[in-house]
Structure 1
């Protein structure tokens, strides 16, 4: 076997360093196409893997270290495995854009219809009719869809309505996109089983659904046999005049409907003062986030019923029987 010359050794080492510098811009991951483009041969790739300098990721990419793989490495590797037109999508794209406290089971990658799909463990590569190169986020970093696109698609693909609502809400709360951008993106969705539900959630995020939320509460009360509440009840306290969203004044129960704007810093203090004023007037104050109205209505209205009963309301059956007694007399 011919021994390598010192020059050949130095040239190979230089190519390896060049590959590692390029990979450093991609969380330590480089595609085989990129390696071959800068002159690294297949034999050199195998030699670096055997020497435990590098490790394989699927069939189309290499990680230039041998430590455990994090989310960033998996994201880059997933895109390389899926092909030249692939990009992260849905919740995976939001994670790559900075979404926190939301876990994903698999890295989701979208490719256009007709593209070849390679199956790699832990990566969900999907052909989608919604793929559009204009949906790609501009700038550097792993190829991914724009946050508003990712949020809407992630919500459409979510396992449940609860997870869908949580995803779009977190994207807005963490500043990855605006509610207005979400609303515009939703206009592109013409058919989907979750379309109407997401329209309602996005309307909540826009802050324009407060009155609709009050109407929804009244409808839910009728459906469940709860007494009809008053809406926008005027109260005056030491901190000025304010309006209560929903109140059962006969029983001293108040329900405050919280849109996303209630969690913003400029509203927290005023909301707390109003809540305390009402409580000091001996009313029982419950809170209902609009998101809760979408994903956990039964739990919240069970609390409303318990509150009313604790204040003397005896329920629809008792009220109906009392009415029959009066008619008999």
Structure 2
């Protein structure tokens, strides 16, 4: 183990400076069959044996550990749920530790895993602009309700410089801000309100929706939102009235 053991997964992401990860176990990846003959492991250490990763996937300086992109993919593959795995992929991109393109390049080396198909779509959504779990969830909800997926993190020039829009349906002129937990602070809410007012002045239909609304009454919200998109010229199926 001493020769091939390296920090991996969540632990390597934490070492790379990714915040928001609460796992306190120490994840170590080793070459296959390293565990043979080992009487025990240290407390709080989780060993992951694999032939998938090689010496080029580890850092060459400092504490031996997986490179950030490899660590993110490892953490996703070692997760217990798809949602947890998605978080492992979105956080390092959101925090600009790695790019979505780099994660896709690494992930495409994975040929067999129970989460592979859904995580590949998650990575495409991240590359398209979903840089938070709320945004990933919203895109999935759009698909489930027959709403075309929006362009995300669309750059525009505002009065105070460049701004980025959470969601925009380009052909319909509809813009949407997703109000998550981070938007609850006064200054963030004020920024969002001013941005939406500016877009409305320029001719957009500019809306916001809270994650609470989507959790409590998504069916009725998407029914009304689909009606709006149809009025604006989008091809959206008519949804059955909710409730």
- Could you tell me the TM-score, scaled by structure 2's length? 0.63
Deviation for aligned residue 1:219: 4.3
**Does residue 201 of the first structure (1) align with residue 122 of the second (2)?**
yes
Structure with more helix by fraction: 1
- Unmatched tracts of structure 2, length 5 or more: 131-136, 152-157, 160-164, 179-189, 229-238
CA distance in 1, matches of 2:150, 2:129: 16
Tell me the residue number matched to 1:56: none
Root-mean-square deviation (CA, aligned residues, Å) is 4.5
**Does residue 182 of the first structure (1) align with residue 106 of the second (2)?**
no
Equivalent in 176, 179, 183 of residue 256 of structure 1: 176
Kept in 1, the 8 Å contact 2:223–2:241? The answer is no
- Unmatched tracts of structure 1, length 5 or more: 1-81, 223-227, 233-237, 259-268, 319-329
- Secondary structure (helix, strand or coil) at the match of 1:286 reads strand
Task: Choose between structure 1 and 2 for higher RCO, CA contacts under 8 A separated by at least 6 residues.
Answer: 2
CA distance in 2, matches of 1:231, 1:166: 21
Tell me the residue number matched to 2:187: none
* Superposed counterparts of 1:223-262, under 5 Å: 244-245=168-169, 256=176
Kept in 1, the 8 Å contact 2:103–2:123? The answer is yes
Tell me the residue number matched to 2:144: 220
The superposition leaves residues 85-104 of structure 1 with CA deviations (integer Å, 9 ceiling, x where unpaired) of: 10011111111111112111
CA distance in 2, matches of 1:216, 1:86: 38
- Secondary structure (helix, strand or coil) at the match of 1:101 reads coil
Aligned residues: 199
Kept in 1, the 8 Å contact 2:220–2:241? The answer is no
Tell me the residue number matched to 1:112: 31
Q: 1:287 to 1:180 in 2, by over 3 A?
A: farther
- Secondary structure (helix, strand or coil) at the match of 2:27 reads strand
- Secondary structure (helix, strand or coil) at the match of 2:145 reads helix
**Does residue 302 of the first structure (1) align with residue 217 of the second (2)?**
yes
CA distance in 2, matches of 1:282, 1:208: 20
* Superposed counterparts of 1:261-276, under 5 Å: 274-276=195-197
CA distance in 2, matches of 1:231, 1:93: 33
Deviation for aligned residue 1:277: 4.0
